[in-house]
Chains A and B, each alone.
Chain A
Amino acid sequence: MSDTTARAIPDRLESRWTTWLKSWEMLLVGVVVFVFAVNAYASPYFLNAWNLSDATFNFTEKAMIAMAMALLIIAGEIDLSVAAIIALASTLMGLALQYGAGTPELVMIGLGVGLLCGAFNGLLVTGLGLPSIVVTIGTMSLFRGIAYIILGDKAFTGYPVDFAFFGQGYVWWVISFELVLFLFIALIFGVLLHATYFGRMVYAIGNNATGALFSGIRVARVKFILFLLTGLMSGVAAVCLTSRLGSTRPSIAFAWELEVVTMVVLGGVSILGGSGSIPGVVLAALIMGLVTFGFGLANVPGIVMSIFIGMLLIGVIAAPIVWRRLRGESAN
């Protein structure tokens, strides 16, 4: 006989602690430890504070963009023009340098170009209702194309000495400014996604944009803000990278968009939108940085690294789908 009295419904079936232990993030923590151990075993140069510090530069700039990209992908959109935004921002910074811009102006230009490019993407997607993958493939060519027209096969060099701090400076001992900046950005985005009204709207939109609209969420406005943030983070990355390299070529940050997306997806963000977390993406950034560094120490050529990134991207997108299918079949 069915029980017709309404039973009290518990808030949770299991504690948050248990949920966390079973999470993708926990698996990533394991991978970090594993990669770290393998590297330490394989190379005598790995366990050295300065070498490890150098290793962080492999991911900090990309990971800054990945923070914003994670929110964008969770909301069901994507921005493939991020690397091209770096190229355009860096080129315009170099151009301003030729007219005598100082460090504060350079930073403003870098961030400003990022914001403007983000706004342009956002307007095309939310204003005209175009799919973001098409829009940003277009702007990817557009932004980098402008950089090529301005620079040709030349390079801008001669950035001011104090400008070098953003990409080459250290805050304390081996702790670089970039690393601190990245951790700060990660903290901001983590709080934004996981503890605020805004973050909840991002998840709602990613799971069901129509339902979110019917729930009174201003979907277009939230998406526009996410494109702005992604553009801004690309601008921040452009400042850091230009400062670190000390020069600008139009091919700067070439194909970074793939590594950023791979980082986000490896971090557990569903490529279909709706789920994922910032701690996951931070761990994924760490893994990719450690793997790149390990390959470097082992003298693995760059092209192998690129093959590895490609396989990783396919692998992490396929893994959850294959996993679900296997579980589905075991139910039959």
Chain B
Amino acid sequence: MLNSASPAIAQHASPSATQPLLTLDGVSKSFPGVRALSEVALDLYPGTVTALVGENGAGKSTLVKILTGIYQPDEGTITLAGEPVSFSTAYDAARAGITAIHQETVLFDELSVAENIYLGHAPRGPFGLIDWKRMNKDAAALLRRVGADIDPEARLRGLGIASKHLVAIARALSVEARIVIMDEPTAALSHKEINELYELVERLKAEGKAILFISHKFDEIFRIADRYTVFRDGECVGAGLIADTSHDELVHLMVGRSVDKIFPKTEAEIGEKVFTVSGYSHPTEFADIGFELRRGEILGFYGLVGAGRSELMQALFGITRPSRGAVRIDGEVAVIRSPAEAIRRGIVYVPEERGSQGAIAGLPIFQNVTLPSLGKTTRAGFLKLAEEFRLAREYTSRLELRAAALDRDIATLSGGNQQKVVIAKWLATKPKVIILDEPTKGIDIGSKAAVHEFMSELASEGLSIIMVSSEIPEVLGMADRVIVMREGRIVGEFAREGLDAETLVRAAAGIDKVQS
């Protein structure tokens, strides 16, 4: 199986999809010092969803950039509907009917929804002026097609994250695309919105579009993809029909080894109360939050996007102020007005937004690690570099960081390794309570396992962990106790024993009355 690099499969389930619409053959791409893609092959069939899986750094992004004309391959051929093509600009790729919906979509807050959709290719009237009436009408039709109930004339600023995502999808569909690339489209979406996205994918399939679907979530891949292609270290290591494969096989292909346990929470001794929150409220984001956390415990916070979980955690960390409520640490009332104070009290927060809030790109790895602990590695305000390197080495090696050197810019690392540095940075402060907000969002499966294993290890050493997560398997696998939030309130609290995915989803969506 490892050697079956050719994705050409004789038989196929769907009769409409016997001839590939797009074929990549022997495509390679090198950057100074790195061979990002090495003779990869990929076939996309009309009316078919092909999942592209691989760890971060496997070459998926490079491939997307080649398909959308941002990079040009060093060698290899691209064939579109039987014709050899080459895209020298993004515009060429768009004109050939290839469109991509990216992980972090670039939209314009101050423009209207319709303007966002048609920016760059708005319908024109006389004298080349924009035909606003037609643009708004067409935009409304597109929005209906993606199942979004959004006014095309509304300003984008006022929309929620999920709605913005749907606008991005509508934008992608506004150019008559034959090939749609979706790069982790569900990363920012809640459970309900994900289901709507799946329906949309089904509709696109029915319209005969070839879809390349990039995702880290296996349940998702098995739910909507028809075919798969696996990349590892810039090479194509397997391809075929989803129906013929299994989770285990894909994982094995991706990492080149089998990962038997992705969520290895081990039993830890749960000790005395460390952290108590009561009557905690914010004017707009959350109300009446009360919970307690014990030594060695992992407390999961589950909920839909917008349930107020991150906002709650950021208030506990001193970034925003609560309007009411109290926090006790080891029984003592603590008033936390700033992150600096939270850190001193032993509470740390690993934010969800790794790029903007967690990692400080531009600073070397070791300086990222020591930043909140500089009090310990300085004497009278003067830096002690040797001490900093020692501290950075101690904590990054515990997380099995992979990097060229500790004085390299953190931005040179992959997402998973950046997250390891961010976690190392907080552990170096020797906290009592660590809040992890979506700790494995968008990181590859190998790093994910390392982060999970490490969380267990920390809990067994007596650290208390709050884990905000929207991934149900992660919550079920890792948390000793799970609190579910909806619209800024706690709507349920569950022990790990006998907890299932359905209970969580129902509580988060408010489908049933929940007994806690």
Report Cα–Cα, A196/B380, bound state, in Å. Answer: 9
Which range contains the number of B residues in contact with the other chain?
35 or more
**Are the CB atoms of B407 and A210 closer together than 8 Å?**
no
CB-contact partner of A215 in B32, B360, B366, B381, under 8 A: B360
> Scoring B residues 337 to 372 as 1 if CB is less than 8 Å from chain A, else 0, what string do you get?
011101100000101000011111111001100011
Cβ of B273 within 8 Å of any chain A Cβ, yes or no, is no
Known contacts A197-B374, A214-B349, A331-B32: A9-B406 contact under CB 8 Å: yes
CB-CB under 8 A from B32, the residues of chain A are: 331
**Are the CB atoms of A9 and B396 closer together than 8 Å?**
yes
Report Cα–Cα, A227/B318, bound state, in Å. Answer: 25
**Are the CB atoms of A207 and B339 closer together than 8 Å?**
no
Report Cα–Cα, A206/B360, bound state, in Å. Answer: 10
**Are the CB atoms of B378 and A197 closer together than 8 Å?**
yes
CB-contact partner of A214 in B233, B357, B400, under 8 A: B357
Cβ of B397 within 8 Å of any chain A Cβ, yes or no, is yes
**Are the CB atoms of B357 and A12 closer together than 8 Å?**
no
CB-CB under 8 A from A274, the residues of chain B are: 362
Cβ of A208 within 8 Å of any chain B Cβ, yes or no, is yes
Report Cα–Cα, A332/B233, bound state, in Å. Answer: 20
B269 to chain A, nearest CB (A): 28
Cβ of A7 within 8 Å of any chain B Cβ, yes or no, is yes
CB-contact partner of B403 in A9, A195, A199, A332, under 8 A: A9
**Are the CB atoms of B383 and A216 closer together than 8 Å?**
no
CB-contact partner of B378 in A6, A8, A196, under 8 A: A196
Known contacts A210-B356, A215-B371, A332-B71: A200-B383 contact under CB 8 Å: yes
Cβ of B393 within 8 Å of any chain A Cβ, yes or no, is yes
Closest 3 CB pairs of A and B: A207-B362, A6-B400, A216-B343
A173 to chain B, nearest CB (A): 34
16 A-B residue pairs with CB within 8 Å: A9-B403, A9-B405, A10-B404, A195-B382, A195-B383, A197-B375, A199-B383, A204-B371, A206-B362, A207-B360, A207-B361, A213-B339, A216-B340, A216-B371, A217-B371, A331-B32
Cβ of A128 within 8 Å of any chain B Cβ, yes or no, is no
Cβ of B137 within 8 Å of any chain A Cβ, yes or no, is no
Cβ of B145 within 8 Å of any chain A Cβ, yes or no, is no
B293 to chain A, nearest CB (A): 21
Cβ of B401 within 8 Å of any chain A Cβ, yes or no, is yes
CB-CB under 8 A from A218, the residues of chain B are: 338, 340
**Are the CB atoms of A13 and B371 closer together than 8 Å?**
no
CB-CB under 8 A from A9, the residues of chain B are: 393, 396-397, 401-406
Cβ of A2 within 8 Å of any chain B Cβ, yes or no, is yes
Known contacts A13-B408, A332-B71: A196-B383 contact under CB 8 Å: yes
Cβ of B157 within 8 Å of any chain A Cβ, yes or no, is no
Cβ of B425 within 8 Å of any chain A Cβ, yes or no, is yes
Report Cα–Cα, A46/B220, bound state, in Å. Answer: 75
Which B441-493 residues sit within 8 Å CB-CB of chain A?
Answer: none
**Are the CB atoms of B378 and A210 closer together than 8 Å?**
no
Cβ of A203 within 8 Å of any chain B Cβ, yes or no, is yes
Known contacts A12-B405, A12-B406, A207-B363: A200-B393 contact under CB 8 Å: no
CB-CB under 8 A from A213, the residues of chain B are: 319, 339
**Are the CB atoms of B405 and A204 closer together than 8 Å?**
no
Known contacts A196-B378, A196-B383, A197-B383: A208-B406 contact under CB 8 Å: no
Which B371-417 residues sit within 8 Å CB-CB of chain A?
Answer: 371-372, 374-375, 378, 381-383, 389, 393, 396-397, 400-408
Report Cα–Cα, A113/B22, bound state, in Å. Answer: 70
> Scoring A residues 184 to 206 as 1 if CB is less than 8 Å from chain B, else 0, what string do you get?
00000000000111111101101
Report Cα–Cα, A323/B339, bound state, in Å. Answer: 38
CB-CB under 8 A from A212, the residues of chain B are: 360, 371
Cβ of A296 within 8 Å of any chain B Cβ, yes or no, is no
CB-contact partner of B405 in A1, A10, A206, A208, under 8 A: A10
CB-contact partner of B374 in A6, A7, A200, A214, under 8 A: A200
CB-CB under 8 A from A204, the residues of chain B are: 360, 363, 367, 371
CB-CB under 8 A from B233, the residues of chain A are: 2
Question: Closest chain B residue to A207 by CB distance?
Answer: B362
CB-CB under 8 A from A13, the residues of chain B are: 404-405, 407-408
Cβ of B256 within 8 Å of any chain A Cβ, yes or no, is yes
Q: 11 more A-B contacts (CB under 8 A) besides A2-B233, A9-B402, A213-B339? A: A2-B255, A11-B393, A197-B381, A198-B381, A203-B363, A204-B363, A207-B363, A214-B358, A215-B425, A216-B338, A217-B371
Known contacts A200-B371, A216-B342: A11-B366 contact under CB 8 Å: yes
Cβ of B72 within 8 Å of any chain A Cβ, yes or no, is yes
Known contacts A4-B257, A215-B425, A216-B339: A11-B363 contact under CB 8 Å: no
Report Cα–Cα, A204/B339, bound state, in Å. Answer: 15
Cβ of B31 within 8 Å of any chain A Cβ, yes or no, is yes
Report Cα–Cα, A198/B404, bound state, in Å. Answer: 28
> Scoring A residues 215 to 239 as 1 if CB is less than 8 Å from chain B, else 0, what string do you get?
1111000000000000000000000
Known contacts A9-B406, A216-B342: A211-B383 contact under CB 8 Å: no
CB-CB under 8 A from A2, the residues of chain B are: 232-233, 255-256
